[in-house]
Amino acid sequence: MISLGEKFPKFNKKAVVSIEPGKEFANITSKDHINAGKWMVMFWYPKDFTFVCPTEIIEFDNHFDEFAAKDTVLVAASTDSEFVHLAWRNNHPGLGRIKTPMLADTSKSLAEELGILTAEEKVAYRVTFIVDNEGTVKWICANDLSIGRNVPEVLRVLVALQTGELTPCNWEPGMKTL
């Protein structure tokens, strides 16, 4: 798996950004968030049309505005195609209105470069990357396929990283840094 302090790999991938006809797809690149001067949280999930994955995507999207207020771009990603993403969004009541783009890594090249593919099925583990506005990986959290993430913890770590300070154990936003 890629390590902390490394540059996030370069990519240019299709993503579902809307369910509005004619506006469903856009390309997302590794430079987009850097050019905008923003951080990026990219969270990978195994497969569309599953059980744990939509709970995570919806929960991240419930916090979309909080991430945006912290100058952070949020991206969901899997190895499914953009067409499967769109079909899922059109058929799942909670995914239809999300703001979070769903990146399609159908070649599995980005997931492979990140080192996050399972050995058996060659799908992505549940891995979250926080990448700073210069493209450097600052935080990685990997979960087994069966375990969902804690989105408030991702936000807490993002804020801690953005302080540029030392934060003690159990630090929460608004508390003093060291």
Q: How far is CA 51 from CA 4, 5, 36, 47, 101, in A?
A: 30, 33, 34, 9, 19
3-class DSSP assignment, residue 72: strand
Contact 137, 6 (CB under 8 A): yes
In sequence order, which residues have a C-beta less than 8 Å from that of residue 148 and are 6 or more positions away? 52, 55, 56, 126
Beta bridge partners of residue 40, listed in sequence order: 73, 131
Burial class (CB in 10 A: 0-12, 13-18, 19+), 70: middle
Query: Which sequence positions are flagged as catalytic?
Result: 53
Q: Which residues pair with 130 in a beta bridge?
A: 41, 139
